[in-house]
Structure 1
Amino acid sequence: MNVVSFEADTQRQHQRYKLPLKCIIDGYRYSCLDWSVGGVGVATGRTVFPQFETFPIELEFPFGDIVISMKVNAQIRYSDANKGRTGLQYVSPTESNLRFFRYVRDCYLTGDLVAANEVLDFSSRMIDTKARKKDAAPPAKAPAEKVKATVVQSLRIVATAAAGVALLVFLGASLYQKLWTFRAEESLVAIDASAVVAPTDGMLTNIVKSGAVKAGDPVATILPSANGRSVTVFSRCDCVVQEAQADVDTQVRAGQPLLSLSMHDAKPHVVAMVDYGQALRLYKGADVVVDLPQGGRLSDAQIRELPKISGADLASGRKFPVNIDVDGADLNAIVGAPVTVRFVQAPWTGASPSVDPKRIVTSVPAENRSRPGSEG
């Protein structure tokens, strides 16, 4: 069956125009034979492109010294080596492509665009480059609104500055706590007392557990197991019973603590257990801060006396007691209660402590000591 093709079936949809354009296909530049809004005819010579294959092409419109390039996808409708011609149809051109194509076509039809010396030239029409519309100026603010805006901006600046200062203070405090303060391992409120010990083995039949006693008053009675005669333990001073360490009707041994006595005028103090590794820092000087269990704080406490230490003590890793006076603070009600002790050094204190040599004794092993008359 023969297919009859009428002229109306193959009529072009868009009129073709003779324009001095260039077309770049697959990296090669060809001259355009004719051009339209829907496609372009290219002089490809002996080169044959596969029919119905789509290529990305680039059209160059020469306007004087300026060349405007337009990229678009195009489909090969036919490619004839005998005629040296290839026809391409644009595939899915963008709206901006179509606007530019129509603009060039309308200028050509109205005579505003002419082809001369292989370039395109506008004879009268000027391209209207529409400037971007500027936003309308905001209405002028009332004086009250200006004042309000100024106040709000000032408050924001103040709040930002306050937040920055607070952050700096926090970081400074954290650094200070880490570099120039350290805590005692264990601390409690104590009072100076003397221990009363059992003079012999036996059964404890009587003991004073609290109250004041005078010198010569009996404070405990022991019934020895060797014979039936009881032994009475007397107080050696006018004191106050601080604590009983044994119970009635229990067996005790000679030398075992029975109770502790303190003088009437004895004042409570704080005993802090400090690691020997921190001893040199204390000898260099430090303020003492005592936090009490009920929430109070003593910031005027003073170290009473530091013990003598040796090189072996510094390397032992053990702890030593530090007695701290609390300057008349009434701590009688919390004797024996744990507290928190912090030692604070000034930032300008150097790293090398100036230790009083009379307070530190460095022991030298006997085998390393030089003997009189020995050589070397």
Structure 2
Amino acid sequence: MSLWFVFALMTAAAIFAVLWPLGRSTQARGGSDLAVYRDQLEEIARDRAEGRIGEAEADAARTEVSRRLIAAADAAEKEAPASGATPVWRRRAAALIGLVLLPIGASALYLTLGSPQVPGQPLAERRAAAQQDTSIETLIARVEAHLEKNPNDARGYEVIAPVYLRMGRFADAVNARRKAIALAGESAQRQADLGEALAALGNGVITADAKAAFERALELDRNDLKALYFIGLAAEQDGDRKKAAAIWLSMLKDAPPGAPWLPMVSEALTRVGGVPPKVADAKQPGPTVEDIAAATQMSEQDRGEMVRGMVARLADRLKEDGSDVAGWQRLLRAYMVLGDRDKAKGAAGDARKALAADPDKLRQIDEAIKSMGLEG
């Protein structure tokens, strides 16, 4: 409310600044000039009488002032008819009409064409929103320009594909995913990402092309989570609720604690009539360094039985699911603490083979192998 009051005051001040001269009565300029020149003649006479100026100087000054006095008198006679052409009451009436009609007209125009009901937005928020929009558009434009000059840059297509997906440009996302596979080679993740883009292009329906991409991803890595979830979704859409439930239940049973996708898969399982398993609080199988240290306080026989049991369970699990890089790292540490270097080297080789299709996990296990001195 106070803001509108300030606007009203500013509008009134602007109107008064423009219309105030119309309401003022104008006086003939000639009348004031005549009075000034007469005063100057009297001052010249006083100065001559008091001896401040000579006779010659007084005559010259009187001549010049008299000439200006005559010119001012002529000008006043010419302006007199013009000054009476527009009466003062007319100018004041025009000013009053403008003072009333201008704000009323401006308010009516704003209410018709403006949007007074829209809430205000601080300048900082408008700048931040504009900067964010510009940054996304700029990113896409730069990557697209780069790909036009470098059409064989697989990394560029992998960068822009998820951006297309988030923006709803599903056809562009599918095209980018396919080009990334053609240029960089296929992997379980790339095939699963392609299937996701194809499913989005089909408005959430797992089409034949999308299902083929997910199935190919599982051929490359049977534990790829994204492909497993969407294959379960395809089964649900085909009416095979039992198959979908079996897939999602298996995912939940093998899930690590706190996995971000657990709620989504649990909801899907419930939707097809399945019952999500309770989250176990127990630690993952396999000994930690603390377990091995505690075992050294036991008798030789008890310690050996405990350690062999834990290591055997962990090794068996990794044979079934070799994608658990953290499990491989724990197994290597357990062998090293027990002083069984040969088994540690053997496990390192098995880990590299199991993780060969995932460069990021392979890098992690390589770093662990180097830190334990198991190279060579």
Taking structure 1 as the reference length, what is the TM-score of the superposition? Answer: 0.21
More helix as a share of residues = 2
Q: Which structure has the higher relative contact order (CA within 8 Å, separation 6+)?
A: 1
Superposition TM-score, scaled by structure 2 size: 0.21
**Rg larger in 1 or in 2?**
1
Structure with the larger strand share: 1
